[in-house]
Amino acid sequence: MKRRLRERARQRGGLQLLPGQPDILVLGTGSFAARIVFDLAATASRPISVAIAGRNRERLAWLRTAANARAVVFGRSAIFFTRIVDLLAHDDVVALIGRDRPTVIVQAASPQASSVIGTRGDAWSKLVAEGGLSATAVFQALLSTRVAQALRDTGIDCHFINCCFPDVVNSLIAAANLPVSCGVGNIAILSNAFAGELQIRDHGALKVLAHYQTIAPFRLPPTARRGPAPRAWIGDSEVSEVFRTFAAVSITPEPAIEISGASGVPLMIAMAAGDTWGGHVPGPNGLPGGYPVVFRRGMIELDLPPSLKRDEAIAWNARFEEINGLTVGGDGFVRYTGVLREKLHQISRAVQRLSHRRSRVRPQRYGGSESTALRSSGRLAPRTGQTLHPTLATARRRSSSAATTNTVTKTRMNDDTAASVGFTCRSRSFHI
C-alpha cells in the first residue's frame, strides 16, 4: 500500500526523497532538537533528508510526524525519518554514523537541560546561577564527546555541529583531538537580535564578537545592564556603546531557543548542499567563545572586521573563562577559575581537593576503542588491570563518584550514571 501511495505521489509531482542516507543527522529529541527539525522543515529551499535519532520512540514518532507535516504546510522539499540509538553505546553510534554517512551531524542531546538557567530553588541551579554555566560543562560534554569520538572512529568526512554549551565544550572536544566544526546559538542570539533591531538583512554588514557570558546583561532591563558587553561593528566601524545602541533588545531569562535553535538552520542547509554561508557561531573549530564566520569550500573560517586581528579576537573571548569558568590551556589541562572555583570549594572537602588539582583532556583507551576523559595531573593511569569504562569501573569507584556528584548537584544519581559523568574522588578528577 505504501509503495503504491509513493508511486502515485511521484506521478503527481510529489517528492523524490525517500528514507535512506540522510543529508543531516540530528541527535536528540528535546526542545532544542525539535526547534532545529521544525525550522528545517519550514525553511529548506531545496530537497533535503533529515534523520532524527534518539531513544524515546514516542517522542521520535511525534517529531517525525510534525516535521513532515510542517514541510507540507510550508511547501518545502524536505523529508524526515527516525533512528533509534543510545548515544552512550559507542558501537551503536559508530554503526549509525557508518550506515547513514550523513553530510552533517547536529548533536543536541545532553543530560543537562538548558532550562537550568531559568530554574531557581535547588542547590544545583543555585551553583550554576552563582558560579556560572561552566559548572555544567562536564555534563554538557558527555554525549558530545562520545559522538565526536564515534565520528572519528568511522573515518567519515562529516561536519559536526555541537549544540551543547559550544563556547566551552567545543574547546574540550578539540583538546581531545576530536572533530568539531562549530556550535549554534549564543553569539547568534545577540548578532541576529542586533541585526533585527537595526533592520539589517545583509549578514556581512554587522559583525559581532561575543562570549556566552555577554548575553546575561540583555536579560535585564536596559537601566540595570552592567558587566561584560559584546563587541559589534557596523561596516568597518566598531559600536562604541553597545548597551545604549541596542537598549531595545530584550532576551528572555529562559533559554532563547526561538533564536538560538533557528540560527544554525541556514548553516546546516548550506553545509549539506556545499553552499557558501556567512553568519555567527560559537566554538568554530574548537575556539572559545563566539565569532563572525564564513562557511565556504567545506570549511568554517573566521570572518573578522578588518580592524580586529585573529589573536586579539581569540584572547578577548578566552579572557571570560580565565576570569570565571573553565579553561583549557595550551598544555591540554583543564582548570576551574574565579567564582566557580570558590563555589566548588565551599561544597565539600572532596570537591575542594579536586579543584586544587588540574585535569587533562586527552584520549584514553578502553575496551578496544578510545573515550575522552578529563584526567587529573596526579596519578594519571589506573592500577594495572583496571579500566575506566563506566560499565567496568569498580563498585567502589562508582559509589565514590555517585556520592560526590550527588553532594554537588543535590540529586540522587545512581552509581552507573555517576561513573559516566561526575566527580571521582579517588583520582580527583572530573571524568566524562
Predicted pLDDT of residue 180: 97
Q: What is the CATH number of the domain that holds 89?
A: 3.40.50.720
10: in domain: no
Predicted pLDDT of residue 359: 54
Residue 207 sits in the same domain as residue 264: yes
Mean pLDDT by 10 residues, the chain (432 residues): 44 50 96 96 96 96 98 97 95 96 96 66 76 83 95 96 95 94 96 96 93 94 93 95 96 90 96 96 97 96 96 96 87 84 76 53 40 32 36 47 52 48 38 39
User: Which SS3 state, helix, strand or coil, does residue 110 take?
Assistant: coil
Please state the domain count of the chain. Answer: 2
Is the distance from CB of 183 to CB of 124 less than 8 angstroms? no
Residue 270 sits in the same domain as residue 378: no
Give the DSSP H or E segment for 372: strand 369-376
Predicted pLDDT of residue 114: 65
Q: Dig out the grid coordinates for 8 from the structure.
A: 502515485
- Domain limit, last residue, from 259, 292, 321: 321
343: in domain: no
Residue 298 sits in the same domain as residue 416: no
Q: Dig out the grid coordinates for 258 from the structure.
A: 526561538
Instruction: Tell me the C-alpha distance between 92 and 305, whole Å.
Output: 43
Amino acid residing at 128: V
Residue 188 sits in the same domain as residue 236: yes
Residue-number span of the structural domain to which 122 is assigned = 15-321
- Domain limit, last residue, from 321, 350, 382: 321
Residue 22 sits in the same domain as residue 90: yes
User: Which SS3 state, helix, strand or coil, does residue 43 take?
Assistant: helix
- Domain limit, last residue, from 269, 302, 321: 321
422: in domain: yes
340: in domain: no
